[in-house]
């Protein structure tokens, strides 16, 4: 019996998810990627709470250079602004612009449709079980 490679299967699924979301996003916003839409959603969920680059790195388990590059692209496209934090000028608070807020609102429906498609044919119990397994795998890697 051939050994199953969970990491390979998850990576393949991750690529498929990213590609599909990028297609859905591109229908509406040519300059946004799936990761950037998730960042916009994160910023909306955080509300008035201060968000700095380190928060993005932690939330999405990405390297500092990756986060910096993505945020620079988002800032250059007008979706976010980075402003100095008064108590530490090295830190930059990430703020949504009006363009970012509007883009996130347009993406909510697309992401909901994507989640519905992704979970089609699964029961609530299966979805919960899958999420439990994913969280356990994440804990194993920390």
Q: Please tell me the number of Cα atoms within 13 Å of 69 on its side-chain side.
A: 7
- Alpha helix (H) ranges present in the chain? 6-26, 34-46, 53-60, 64-76, 98-119, 124-141
Q: What is the pTM of this model?
A: 0.75
Average pLDDT for residues 54-74, to the nearest whole number?
95
Q: What is the mean pLDDT of residues 90-104?
A: 92
Is the pLDDT reported for residue 30 higher than 80?
no
Q: Tell which phi-psi region holds residue 123, choosing left (phi > 0), alpha (psi between -120 and 50) or beta.
A: beta
In a domain, 33, yes or no: yes
For residues 19-46, average pLDDT: 86
Among 7-16, 21-30, 41-50, which stretch is predicted with the lowest mean pLDDT? 21-30
3-class secondary structure, 66: helix
Q: Which whole number is the average pLDDT over 95-110?
A: 90
Please, which pLDDT band fits residue 31 given cuts at 50, 70 and 90?
confident
DSSP state of 88: E
Q: What confidence tier does 68 reach under pLDDT thresholds 50, 70, 90?
A: very high
| pLDDT score for 75 | 96
Confidence of residue 89 (pLDDT cuts 50, 70, 90): confident
Residue 1 within a domain: no
pLDDT of amino acid 81? 96
Whole-number pLDDT of residue 88: 83
Overall number of domains in the chain: 1
Rounded mean pLDDT of the chain? Answer: 90
pLDDT in tens, 105-131: 888 888 888 899 999 999 999 999 999
Domain range for 117: 6-141
Question: For position 27, which CATH number holds?
Answer: 1.10.10.10
């Amino acid at each position: 019996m051939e050994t199953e490679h969970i990491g390979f299967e998850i990576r393949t699924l991750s690529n498929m998810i990213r590609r599909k979301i990028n297609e859905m996003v591109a229908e509406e916003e040519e300059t946004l990627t799936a990761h950037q839409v998730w960042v916009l959603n994160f910023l909306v969920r955080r509300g008035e709470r201060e968000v700095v680059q380190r928060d993005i790195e932690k939330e999405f388990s990405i390297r500092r250079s990756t986060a910096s590059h993505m945020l620079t692209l988002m800032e250059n496209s007008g979706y976010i602004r980075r402003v100095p934090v008064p108590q530490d000028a090295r830190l930059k608070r990430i703020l949504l612009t009006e363009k970012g807020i509007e883009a996130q609102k347009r993406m909510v429906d697309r992401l909901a449709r994507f989640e519905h498609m992704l979970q089609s044919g699964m029961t609530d119990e299966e979805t919960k079980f899958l999420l439990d397994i994913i969280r356990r795998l994440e804990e194993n890697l920390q």
